[in-house]
A and B are shown apart, each in its own frame.
Chain A
Amino acid sequence: MAERQSPLEPEFHVGSHGNFEHGVEILLTETRPGSIVQLAAWPGEEKKLIAAIRTVTGLALPDGAGGGSSDGVKSVFGFAPGKFTVADEAEGLAAAFAKAVTPAIGTVTDLSHGRTAIRIAGPKAEWVLAKFFAIDFALPAFPVGAGRSTAHHDVFAQIQRTGADQFDIYVFRSFARSFWKALCHASEEVGYEVQ
């Protein structure tokens, strides 16, 4: 099958940019997962959905709102009551979940094309993200694995912390290039590298 085209392509310039002479403090990349799926449980069926997530991905969800985890290949996090985003490097996640998540448990919505996953990492990741989102990125308030849904102006974003200084941001594909440009611009002052 034809490779999926990235919405960032004309604005995706591999290399170091901005004020990088004193060192690069931000790494930006597009993670391009093969699958991005949204799962939503009917009220009262959340535990069964969480069990299904574990069956399909092997990932255990910690308790509580916005809880999540990632093994570097697959990632999952809650972003709304009873709702979860799951991403996988491989394609075919929606089909796998269609079997595990029965109509009695909830619904599966394939968003593999519809969301673009951008990774920002580095010592200044919190600093740069704070320019966009009015949420607290400090580690105690936003632990590794956890997810948040928020917005930057009209750009909806789901953000998962996948490392102490690493975040994966899921944005609508149509906004991705615009958001990417803004992210690069905001990273200029600290020096950034696109990988």
Chain B
Amino acid sequence: MLITCPYCGPRDVIEFTYQGDGNRERPDPASQNFEAWNAYVYDRLNPAGDHNEIWQHSGGCRAHLRVVRNTLTHEISSVAFVRGDHASAARRKAEDKA
């Protein structure tokens, strides 16, 4: 499986670390709503199909990526920096050969 890191280009999955379900919403830090915390820490969607996931390019630029991956086919339909403010650092199209 390859993941196309917006900074580094397409790299083998071995360079990445799965960092969990991208649908989790962290409750307000001061919140004492146990149900919300429980859902955040333990509940996972596990869909058969497109899944919103967080991957870290730990063996490369170390940025966190929001990856939409089909859990049935491994097909990746989109990859983007989790941080919106990194968008300007994305690899230019012309260099997309790597």
Contact = CB atoms under 8 A, between A and B. Distances in A.
Given A81-B81, A136-B98, A149 B60 contact: yes
A141 B98 contact: yes
A65 B92 contact: yes
B92 A43 contact: no
Contact of B97 (A43, A64, A140, A151): A140
Interface residues of A, number: 24
B70 to A, nearest CB: 23
Contacts of B90: 65
Interface string B61-98: 11100000000000000000101011011111001011
A43 to B, nearest CB: 3
Nearest to B58: A151
Interface residues of B, number: 25
Nearest to B7: A65
Of listed A43, A66, A81, A150, residue having the most chain B CB within 10 A = A81
Contacts of A149: 8, 60-62
B15 interface: yes
A83 B14 CA distance: 22
A44 B85 CA distance: 7
A73 interface: no
A82 B8 contact: no
B11 interface: yes
The SS class assigned to the A binding surface is loop
B49 interface: no
B43 interface: no
Interface string B21-54: 0000000000000000000000000000000000
Given A64-B92, A141-B97, A80 B62 contact: yes
B27 to A, nearest CB: 25
A66 B84 CA distance: 19
A156 B17 CA distance: 14
A3 interface: no
Contacts of A79: 61
A135 interface: yes
Contact of B89 (A81, A135, A142, A156): A81
22 contacts: A43-B85, A44-B85, A63-B92, A64-B92, A64-B95, A65-B90, A65-B95, A66-B91, A80-B61, A81-B63, A81-B81, A81-B86, A134-B12, A134-B15, A136-B97, A142-B98, A149-B61, A150-B8, A150-B59, A151-B58, A151-B59, A151-B60
Interface of A: 43-44, 46, 63-66, 78-83, 134-136, 140-142, 148-151, 156
